[in-house]
């Protein structure tokens, strides 16, 4: 295994991780920003107010994008397993 192949595998893994985490993080960030603006406008400073909407949005994102996410992860894992003989020998 050459250093170039190790770097390539690491880069592919990080790309997959970013692609899997981005929809959840972006949706959570957007909901948090909207709720923070609502709290600033109404001066309601309740820390638990953000928890339930964020949880609902994350569940919705996982429900809608979950099949794409699992397909992406399974395809990457399958490709990685198929490339093992070429990486070793």
Rounded to an integer, the average pLDDT of 59-87 is 94
Closest among 46, 6, 55, 47 to 27, alpha carbons compared = 55
Q: How far is Cα of residue 65 from the mean position of the Cα atoms in its chain? A: 10
* Per-domain boundaries in the chain: 3-88
**Angle between helix 51-82 and 3-42 (nearest 10):** 170
Q: Give residue-wise pLDDT tens across range 14-72.
A: 999 999 999 999 999 999 999 999 988 998 888 788 889 999 999 999 999 999 999 99
Please indicate, yes or no, whether the overall pTM of this predicted structure exceeds 0.75.
yes
């Amino acid at each position: 295994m050459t250093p170039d192949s190790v770097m390539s595998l690491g880069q592919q893994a990080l790309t997959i991780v970013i692609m899997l985490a981005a929809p959840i993080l972006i949706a959570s960030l957007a909901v948090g920003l909207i709720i923070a603006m609502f709290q600033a406008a109404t001066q309601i400073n309740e820390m638990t107010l953000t928890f339930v909407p964020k949880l609902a949005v994350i569940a919705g994102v996982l429900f809608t994008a979950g099949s794409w996410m699992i397909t992406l992860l399974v395809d990457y894992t399958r490709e990685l397993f198929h490339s093992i003989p070429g990486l070793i020998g």
